[in-house]
Amino acid sequence: MPEEMKDVKNVKGLAPKSIRYAKKIDDDFAAGLAGFYGAVWADREGGLSKKQKHLLVFAIACSNNKTNSAIKILHKLKKFDATAEEIKDTMMIAAWTGGIQNFTDFTPAILEEMDKLGF
């Protein structure tokens, strides 16, 4: 496994499917994609924390009505000690940007998962 992919695995906890698929196509493509993941999720002085980044992608997933993705991200947020209030604020931002219908669609599953995770 190229060094870039090991770095992504350390950051994300797993090698994303897209990198595994890319490797089947071309090693350089996989390494480039791994570099992209590494750059997005890297800790940078003065930059967003991993929790903040996960809150952002959670909001985007919710606002795009990608409930399954939002639930996966919710599990990451638990690991990064996000609070229930941070998640609720993020859900309200998602309603603002994605519309009330999306909010109505994704909220029941998210609230149920929040209860299961102890938020």
**Local confidence band at 102 (pLDDT 50, 70, 90 cut-offs):** confident
- 35, 37, 38, 59 from 7: Cα distances, Å: 9, 9, 7, 25
pLDDT tens track for 49-82: 999 999 999 999 999 999 999 999 999 999 999 9
Rounded to an integer, what distance in angstroms lies between the CA atom of residue 63 and that of residue 67? 9
In this structure, of 8-12, 26-30, 73-77, 98-102, the range with the lowest mean pLDDT score is 8-12
pLDDT tens track for 31-46: 999 899 889 988 899 9
Letter for the amino acid at 102?
N
Please name the residue that has the structure tokens 């490797």: 23
